[in-house]
Amino acid sequence: MSYQVLARKWRPRDFASCVGQEHVVRALTHALEQQRLHHAYLFTGTRGVGKTTLSRILAKCLNCVGPDGRGGMTATPCNQCDACTAIDAGRFVDYIEMDAASNRGVDEMTALLERAVYAPSNARFKVYMIDEVHMLTTHAFNAMLKTLEEPPEYVKFILATTDPQKIPVTVLSRCLQFNLKQMTPQHVATLLTEILRKEGISAEPVALRLLGQAARGSMRDGLSLLDQAIAYSAGSVTAEAVRGMLGAIDTTVLVRLLDALAARDAKGLLALADEMAGRSLSFAQGLRDLGSLLHRIALVQQVPEALADDDAAEAIRRLAKRFSADEVQLYYQVALHGRNDLHLAPDDYAGFTMALLRMLAFAPTTAPGESTTQRAAALVASKPRATMPARVALSPPTAVRGASLPPSAAPLARAPVAPQPSNGPQRSNGPLRIDDWPALVTRLPINGLTRELASRSELLAVEGDVVRLRVPMKTLADASNIERLKSALGQHFNRSLRVQVDVGTTAGPTAAALVEQARSERQKRAEEAIHADPFVKQVIENFGASIDPASIRPAD
């Protein structure tokens, strides 16, 4: 007897055995119990989450007749009658599964719809299941629209896809859509535990957790990996065997790596990378697992009770105290970018080690074993608390004599303060003066509508820290534009300012008016130069030519 893979052997046969899709099971169960059945269903979700399985269970619920042959539609199929057993075996004539990837044309769809008009041969409903329906052509979708909207009363359509964005909205509006969730690692590990118990195979919980994480949300992938793990370990599924099969990295290696990073030990980091290369471990998986470990450390730093108790819990709590929050965020970003750029590296080893060295290069400068938080506290504690003048400088003789003295013993002398222009950066404790608003506007680091606001505004008054302006258009007096202008003025004058903008006719000089005036003057000079040119005059006199003013542009 040939071996049947676990993914097929333990495929759920009723709604009660489905895992992780409770929201879909609940809706379908209530619909069957209340006899409120839609004529077309659409199941969407990634690979291996149960789209085909739910389709077969729904087909059994619609056609089940019970063990005695007298039952009706039910939410709990008996799995004993001819209809249930035939659907499970894939030989039920009125349950048709079609792969749209290989039957995607309008001819195949037309043939299917022509058969749909005939009543089922020995069933209550004729059920058409179209898998990967997004692969159908546009003409095929158009051909099925009418039948999908108003099918015969004995026909049900079940569509399944991994990419619902490619399905026309005209098809989506005719279907009852269910979005299937990705399976969590806990759901996968729980089901694997139950299956191994029924199979009589022992397994370590850590090994099943690793398989649940490696499944990446797919129950079918999890069962396929379990098949591989059973064969790899020759029976008992152990954590060591699963790590070897997956190329996964033991958490202790990652903890040692972070310890070396905290100690700024570049040699230790490279030694660990060489150890991973010697064990043929996946560097891509290493960066992924390192990101997961840093994520758990960040969670512990913010929400200590969020940490689940496992073998690495104690090490994670220790690392959470050793690293500061900003360091963890930095290393997490480097790990993510390093993994994404791994295919661009000369080889995986170079990409992995460069990611580690990048963490080391961008790490805050601290003593070995000292976090940035501790370093910052030490710097604050070491600063003198005496109040110092705002601007001080050492005179040259004092600087020479004070070179061998402690910093506190060096005498201080007040440096002369150079006079500043009224529109340059000012001290926050002096009166604010703006003598030339248009000239100031040209120096502000602003653009877009904010520059339009400043250029077309007239300075009304400066009252303390309030700058009052007037603009001719209400659209320029937008709150966001005013806020950006206030920020630019505050940065320029090095003080906190407020900006008030009135709407009205401007009378005083504005930057835009001065620019327009200068442009007009240049244009006028250019036109005068053209009219005064001897050659132009000769052409006008001899040929009766005329000058088009719109064609004249100043050279500057």
Full 3-state SS string of 297-346: HHHHHHCHHHCCCCCCHHHHHHHHHHCCHHHHHHHHHHHHHHHHCHHHCC
Residues 1-51: tens digit of each pLDDT? 578 889 888 899 999 888 889 999 999 999 999 989 999 999 999 989 999
Percent of the chain with pLDDT over 90: 35
Classify residue 447 by its DSSP letter.
Answer: -
The predicted model gives 384-401 an average pLDDT of: 37
pLDDT for residue 357: 93
* Confidence band of 396 (pLDDT split at 50, 70, 90): very low
If you average pLDDT over residues 275-284, what whole number do you get? 86
pLDDT range class, residue 430, cuts 50, 70, 90: low
What's the pLDDT at 555?
74
Mean pLDDT of 346-352: 92
* Residue 251 pLDDT greater than 90, yes or no: no
Per-residue confidence (pLDDT) for residue 413, from 0 to 100: 38
Residue 349: predicted pLDDT: 92
Q: Quick check: 519 pLDDT over 50?
A: yes
Average pLDDT value for residue range 530-551: 82
The mean pLDDT value for 492-514 works out to 85
103-107, 303-307, 496-500, range with the lowest pLDDT: 303-307
Which phi and psi (to 5°) does residue 466 adopt? -110, 125
Pairing of strands 40-44, 95-99: unpaired
Q: Does 554 or 371 have the greater pLDDT score?
A: 554
Report whether 479 contacts 450 (CB < 8 A).
no
Beta strands 466-471 and 458-463, pairing class? antiparallel
Residues 67, 74: contact at Cβ < 8 Å?
no
The pLDDT mean for the chain works out to 83
**Average pLDDT, stretch 259-275?**
91
Binned at pLDDT 50, 70 and 90, residue 274 comes out as very high
pLDDT at 30: 94
For residue 369, pLDDT beyond 50: no
Look at the pTM and tell me if it is higher than 0.75.
no
CA separation for the pair 74, 262 (Å, rounded)? 61
Runs of H (alpha helix) within 90-137: 106-116
Residue 294 has pLDDT above 60, yes or no: yes
Mean pLDDT of 492-500: 87
Among the ranges 143-157, 303-317, 532-546, which has the highest mean pLDDT value?
143-157
**What does the alpha-carbon distance between residue 81 and residue 88 come to, in Å, rounded to a whole number?**
11
pLDDT at 252: 85
